Amino acid sequence: MKEKNQRGLSALLEYAGGCRKLTYLSLILSALSSLLALLPFVCLWRIIREVLEVRLDYSQATGIVRNGWMAVLFAVLAWLVYVAALVCSHGSAFRTAANMKKALLHHIARLPIGFADEMGSGKLRRIVTEVTGSTETLLAHNLPDMAGAITLPLGMLVMLFVYDWRFGLACLIPIALSFVAMMRMAGPAMQEDMRQYQNALERMSSEAVEYVRGVPVVKTFGQTVFSFHRFKASIDEYCEFCMHYTRMMRKSMLGYTVLIHSAFVFLLCLTLFLIRGDNYQTDILLNFLFYVIFTPAIATAMSKVMFMSENSMKVKDAVARTDAILGLRPLPEAERGREPGSATVELMDVTYRYSPDASAALSHLSLKAERNEIVALVGPSGSGKTTVAGLISRFFDPQEGQVLLGGVDVRQISKEELMRRVAYVFQDSRLLKRSIADNLRIAKPNASEEELLEALKKAQCSDILSRLPQGIHTVLGARGTYLSGGEQQRIAIARAMLKDADVVILDEASAFVDPECEAQVQLAFREMAKGKTVIMIAHRLSTVRNADRIYVLENGQLAEQGKHGELLEQKGLYAQMWAEYQKAASWKVGEAV
């Protein structure tokens, strides 16, 4: 997708592709519909004139029925043309919204995985779904209505001054005044308010997602939404902005509403002035009745212009937010990717910051993991363990130093080759609402059923399959078939085994595994390590005591390294963590009372 320097409607229509012609056609049809909609008023004026001319002798009124049917015909014709305009505009609008979503999703797929964590899933989801969807209202409805709203006043001006310029001028006075009031609500200053409004919605959406994810914890400890301060603060911020903006626009909106519907008052005053004394004329009464019937259409046209202005600002904001994501660059790739020579992983003097003004998550860190061994990363929360795993998988690149796989900098390895050689089991793995076989084949699409069953057996999932109605072909989420967190994690481990990658990264992969299964899972890890490099991140220290090498991280730096026994003898940070873990493992309710 090429860079977009334009903003607003012109930039939006670039996403319409060949359907852009439908947008232009809808504008023409809508304008034509507006002109046809004026003709029934002409027929109505002829009916009123004929009624007044014949007075009570209606036998002389020969054109009433004909003009009545003509009014109906023109009204139906105007409606049909307008429907045709909406059909065209909706076709273009849906294609535009779909192309925007496709452009975003294709680009997001090329961005590093760390980008999603940095932006926040709630904010990202809202831009992809709601923000792009907001363009549909403008293209499908507001834009055709705007064409009609512009054409209608022009036709009205002709009619207003053709029949009686004095009444036409009386109608224009409230229109001009209401336009001034409308510009106070829809002028350039409104664009900044719209940006702040969308920002408030994004923050609330992001915090809502985080809150929903934390509902189990909140309910476990008997808390309410008020315990989730950031979520409540985002709601309060949104509420405060809306209330402030509503109060700010109150007088302008009141003035606009009163003025746009006050044409009748101006017409009545003019009529009383013209027929003062004995100056009673039938033409004055005829024109008064005609303009009283005709002027409500002016209010409708002006309201469409106002809503069009508001939605135009929404679209400008939507295009700007879309362009902000499309403007992010994927991680650079070498023109000719190199192949790693082995499964050895090495970090050499690596420093990484999540943002330029943030403190270093890793600072001059060096470590190494060889083939045929399990390497564990432990340390306090925030010490940089997950950051190391992310750098190895190239979720992001370090600002300093190198991350090597088989002696080759991961930046020199093609994305496809790197993903083929590295398998990752996340701490909170998610399964698709498909069959277990489909979830496993994400790692190896052409895997046979025997390979799937073997991977599940190694990951200690036999007990899960035994109670599922259709075994590996059971669709998760269908007919109440759900797996616990520990069961989902074991399926994810089986998926990593099936991939048969050179490097396997386990980010708290055994955190949700039942204690009675932990020994079997450890055996599975040992089996998985044959011929591979396994990097394990864990807080539960019992899962790493048999690791071939343990790296202890603290504040993004390497504090200690060695095997379990060697680290205990050093009586450093690891020994302290082990003592605290042993104390927590032996804790009993009776001892705490």
Pair (316, 437) in one structural domain: no
Pair (432, 557) in one structural domain: yes
Q: Name the residue type at position 409.
A: D
Residues with Cβ within 8 Å of residue 68, at least 6 apart in sequence: 43, 47
CB 259 within 8 A of CB 177: yes
Q: How confident is the model at residue 83 (pLDDT cuts 50, 70, 90)?
A: very high
Separation between Cα atoms, residue 481 and residue 474, nearest integer Å: 8
CA torsion angle 403 407 409 410 (round to 10): -80
Confidence at residue 588, expressed as pLDDT on a 0 to 100 scale: 47
Say which residue, 331 or 212, is predicted with more confidence.
331
Q: Is 270 inside a domain boundary?
A: yes
- Percent of the chain clearing pLDDT 90 (strictly above): 7
Separation between Cα atoms, residue 389 and residue 395, nearest integer Å: 9
Separation between Cα atoms, residue 108 and residue 124, nearest integer Å: 10
Q: Name the residue type at position 148.
A: G
Q: Is 284 inside a domain boundary?
A: yes
State the average pLDDT over residues 11-15. 76
Pair (391, 309) in one structural domain: no
Give every strand in the sheet of 503-507, ordered side by side.
422-425, 503-507, 533-537, 373-378, 549-554, 557-562
Residues with Cβ within 8 Å of residue 546, at least 6 apart in sequence: 374, 522, 526, 564
Q: CATH number, domain at 497?
A: 3.40.50.300
Residue 160 has pLDDT above 70, yes or no: no
CA torsion angle 552 557 561 564 (round to 10): -10
Q: Is 214 inside a domain boundary?
A: yes
Separation between Cα atoms, residue 50 and residue 47, nearest integer Å: 5
Give every strand in the sheet of 345-352, ordered side by side.
362-369, 345-352, 400-405, 408-409
Q: How confident is the model at residue 3 (pLDDT cuts 50, 70, 90)?
A: very low
- HSE value, Cβ hemisphere, 13 Å, CA-based, for 71: 15
* Residue listed under structure tokens 């309201």: 303
Q: Is 528 inside a domain boundary?
A: yes
Domain termination site, one of 288, 309, 326? 326
Pair (432, 305) in one structural domain: no
Q: Name the residue type at position 171.
A: C
Residue 479 has pLDDT above 80, yes or no: no
Q: How confident is the model at residue 277 (pLDDT cuts 50, 70, 90)?
A: low
Q: Is 350 inside a domain boundary?
A: no
Structure tokens at 554: 């603290």
CB 421 within 8 A of CB 407: no
Pair (524, 380) in one structural domain: yes
Say which residue, 428 or 593, is predicted with more confidence.
428
Which range among 54-58, 120-124, 286-290, 384-388 has the greatest average pLDDT? 384-388
335 phi/psi in degrees, rounded to 5: -60, -40
Pair (177, 70) in one structural domain: yes
Through-space distance between the first and last CA atoms of the chain, rounded to whole angstroms: 64
Q: Is 382 inside a domain boundary?
A: yes
Pair (75, 182) in one structural domain: yes
Pair (379, 306) in one structural domain: no
Confidence at residue 517, expressed as pLDDT on a 0 to 100 scale: 60
pLDDT tens digit string along 236-276?
888 888 888 788 778 888 888 888 888 888 888 888 888 77
8-17, 283-292, 416-425: which range is least confident on average? 8-17
Residue 420 has pLDDT above 90, yes or no: no
507 phi/psi in degrees, rounded to 5: -95, 95
Q: Is 349 inside a domain boundary?
A: no
Closest alpha carbon to 505 in 113, 115, 213:
113
Kind plus residue range of the DSSP H or E element containing 368: strand 362-369
Pair (447, 540) in one structural domain: yes
Residues with Cβ within 8 Å of residue 300, at least 6 apart in sequence: none
CB 282 within 8 A of CB 55: no
- Is 200 strand, coil or helix? helix
Closest alpha carbon to 306 in 153, 193, 142:
142
| Average pLDDT score, the chain | 79
Separation between Cα atoms, residue 38 and residue 156, nearest integer Å: 8
495 phi/psi in degrees, rounded to 5: -65, -40
Closest alpha carbon to 520 in 577, 463, 471:
463
Domain termination site, one of 268, 300, 326? 326
237-261: b or e for each residue (b if 16 or more CB lie within 10 Å)?
Answer: bbeebeeebeeebeebbebbeebbb
Domain region containing 103 = 9-326
Q: Is 486 inside a domain boundary?
A: yes
Residue 80 has pLDDT above 90, yes or no: yes
Residue 406 is classified by DSSP as T
pLDDT tens digit string along 444-475?
888 898 999 988 888 778 888 888 878 888 88
Pair (171, 318) in one structural domain: yes
Residue 543 has pLDDT above 50, yes or no: yes
95-116: b or e for each residue (b if 16 or more CB lie within 10 Å)?
Answer: bbbebbbebbeebbeeebebbe
Q: How many domains does the chain have?
A: 2
Sign, CA dihedral 362-393-398-369, equals positive
Pair (155, 270) in one structural domain: yes
Domain termination site, one of 326, 343, 358? 326
CA torsion angle 16 22 27 32 (round to 10): 180
Chain Cα centroid distance, residue 378: 35
Pair (101, 184) in one structural domain: yes
Q: CATH number, domain at 199?
A: 1.20.1560.10
State the average pLDDT over residues 45-69. 76
